[in-house]
Structure 1
């Protein structure tokens, strides 16, 4: 019965609470269909009635939600150097602490084995039965072929697809997605309202990713690789990018570029509180910038201006309703906004900037973890009955 009502499960997951009328609107289904579907899910102890909504007149509608412990999802958020893992229940609540550990993806043959070991350890540490877990959602950088289940950049597995290999080792279904695409999914479902329909989601991190929401749908392009914003050839600086080309936006505006500029600036005698660190990291630079360090603010502002130049191209091509700054670097918040807006104003036709809102995500550093969960929820229809949501004990 669960598999006949996936649309209702998804709508309840994203809304957390909803009336029958809300669910009818969200799913595009008739009231009779929704009424029967919800009743079936209540009988299965997957959904519960949680109360009666106030009404200005007429019958007060009942509201429903998913029962939190009917199933759990493991979300794995990877960047090039650090991986974070958390368990999430069916009310989209983190269960326990987020586990964080160093895991270098590039030139690391042991990376896939380390990842598997940490996922298995997370399951064991949770104390939850294996059959309580619906699936694992893994989000990571690189050229992700989500249809075939492979990462063409990192984590190649022996003789079978990456998804198949990991699924066998952890004994759970596995879904993978590009980190920036998954962040766009999270922003659409849980973020600012202006990210719902037509929005460009910028993943500020070790690279500069892009997730595109067009007409309320995630746009991946013909081969699934759309959104390589980081590799726009904007600079004639001779700097080699991670993609093998020179002069990409990433070489001047990523967190890696910010780290390199800070290190070089200190060698040249720049006055900054960053001198107290033995090795300057992006986190150090962000922390000191938020405290008002002028040199740290300057470096971030320069990077932000270059990002704004790149966004000017997107504005001319896509004319989005909004641009949302998300990902690891978004914790800098308003420090990005002024220089990005300045660059957009300088390089865009005025009508385009006038009607596009620029905002910082309200999801913070959890955006990618939420993206991993959303990746699973969007693929519920692929789960076999053997791994469907189980009834609570």
Structure 2
């Protein structure tokens, strides 16, 4: 059914276009009545009824029965058939892979995290990633032909339109999306990890999410996802959101991009780790030193130290929060968003980060604009990237 659905929807006909619009409505608004669809698409009820009936016969839309209403006729409620097809999201981190599968309705049907993996810019690493993808798909009960798209979330500059990555897997002229497609035998696309994470937060929000959102990805680097009027903003070349590579500090610290003083040299997990280790080498103490030597300390140990109320770890997290809040204040002044979501690995420390961020935003943002922006931590936490990639793989095929 999956490939038949894709072939039908991708036809260059007026009917196929209208069916894609109906699917788009279901993706962003959930189940709907014929009347709801008619109003949203500005088409007559007979036209919508004919299209929906065809989609039900083709097996990718379900008639979910009568909608309970107060008096009058009870209209039928329609929605996407969850089992019509599936979509896979892949998160590629420095030391692990994570996978998420969603059905056609956008519901998470499986999630697997922290599969050991070493991210390298080599053909061998790409082959290893594709082998892990195929192994994961093979472990699930869904037929391979039901997977319509795989979205791989990569760090750094990624152009989703061309399928090219300029950070991870940038060793060939061929777009990385094509190389993945050839290896796994399924349609694949790529996108920047901050955008996929932002999309996951937006689509899976527990309450109706605002339409204008800035997502801050505070991980080893510092990225940003921008949602304007409910749609991801990619920019001209697909590189929008490189927040961390704006100049921020005259610290002579070389960023991994090759420039000095980027914001992420002071506001990121890499900055936290670098400063923590430097302070220990300069003679300061931490609870971690009772269990590990300085050379063996990892980022997770610092997060654990925060939970154990380690003074040095908390001090550095709060310092990063204050600096981040200052820069977010500038973004609020520019974008005037309804919501700013702070996610990524460093968001795991919770209020130790959020409180200094909010305090700094108040100091560096116009009062009227600050009051309009809700500052929150990620809801999906470490699941957001893989979930967002899976949902984006669905939207890339169907959403108009």
- Give the TM-score taking structure 2 as reference length: 0.87
> What per-residue deviation string (whole Å, max 9, x for no partner) do you get for residues 66-122 of structure 1?
332221111101234432123222233333441433434355452211111111212
Tell me the equivalent position of 1:217: 231
Deviates more, 1:362-371 or 1:169-178: 362-371
> What per-residue deviation string (whole Å, max 9, x for no partner) do you get for residues 201-247 of structure 1?
11121111111122333222222211111112111111110110111
Change (3 A) 1:120 1:355: same
Change (3 A) 1:270 1:24: farther
Q: 1:317 aligns with which of 312, 318, 334?
A: 334
* SS of residue in 1 equivalent to 2:136: helix
Deviates more, 1:121-130 or 1:96-105: 96-105
* SS of residue in 2 equivalent to 1:253: coil
Tell me the equivalent position of 2:93: 79
Change (3 A) 1:13 1:349: closer
> What per-residue deviation string (whole Å, max 9, x for no partner) do you get for residues 42-89 of structure 1?
212222233433322322333233332221111101234432123222
Tell me the equivalent position of 2:318: 301
* SS of residue in 2 equivalent to 1:230: helix
Deviates more, 1:80-89 or 1:141-150: 80-89
Q: 1:338 aligns with which of 325, 340, 355?
A: 355
**Contact 1:149–1:164 under 8 Å retained in 2:** yes
Listed as ranges, the matches of 1:253-264 within 5 Å are 253-264=267-278
Tell me the equivalent position of 1:113: 127
Quote how far apart the aligned CAs of 1:307 are.
0.9
Quote how far apart the aligned CAs of 1:36 are.
2.6
Give the whole-Å Cα distance in 2 for the aligned partners of 1:175 and 1:28.
Answer: 32
> What per-residue deviation string (whole Å, max 9, x for no partner) do you get for residues 325-361 of structure 1?
1233333333322111121122223222222221112
Give the whole-Å Cα distance in 1 for the aligned partners of 2:32 and 2:396.
Answer: 21
Tell me the equivalent position of 1:181: 195
Quote how far apart the aligned CAs of 1:199 are.
1.7
1:145 aligned onto 2:162: no
Quote how far apart the aligned CAs of 1:315 are.
1.9
Tell me the equivalent position of 1:385: none
**Contact 1:13–1:92 under 8 Å retained in 2:** yes
Change (3 A) 1:205 1:34: farther
Listed as ranges, the matches of 1:96-245 within 5 Å are 96-156=110-170, 158-191=172-205, 195-245=209-259
* SS of residue in 1 equivalent to 2:68: coil
Tell me the equivalent position of 2:26: 12
1:36 aligned onto 2:50: yes
Q: 2:309 aligns with which of 260, 283, 292?
A: 292
Tell me the equivalent position of 2:260: 246
**Contact 2:23–2:398 under 8 Å retained in 1:** no
Quote how far apart the aligned CAs of 1:192 are.
5.9
Structure 1: segments with no counterpart, 5+ residues: 383-393
Q: 1:363 aligns with which of 377, 380, 391?
A: 380
* SS of residue in 1 equivalent to 2:252: coil
1:67 aligned onto 2:85: no
Q: 2:345 aligns with which of 313, 321, 328?
A: 328
- Give the total of aligned pairs: 382
| CA RMSD across the alignment | 2.5
**Contact 2:216–2:225 under 8 Å retained in 1:** yes
Change (3 A) 1:233 1:46: same
Change (3 A) 1:228 1:343: same
Give the whole-Å Cα distance in 2 for the aligned partners of 1:323 and 1:53.
Answer: 36
> What per-residue deviation string (whole Å, max 9, x for no partner) do you get for residues 251-309 of structure 1?
11211111222223333444433333453333332233234333322221111111112
Tell me the equivalent position of 2:103: 89
Q: 1:373 aligns with which of 359, 379, 390?
A: 390
Deviates more, 1:146-155 or 1:276-285: 276-285
Give the whole-Å Cα distance in 1 for the aligned partners of 2:83 and 2:20.
Answer: 17
Deviates more, 1:360-369 or 1:63-72: 63-72
Change (3 A) 1:364 1:30: farther
Give the whole-Å Cα distance in 1 for the aligned partners of 2:236 and 2:391.
Answer: 22
Structure 2: segments with no counterpart, 5+ residues: 10-15
Change (3 A) 1:166 1:59: same
- Give the TM-score taking structure 1 as reference length: 0.88
Give the whole-Å Cα distance in 1 for the aligned partners of 2:94 and 2:385.
Answer: 13
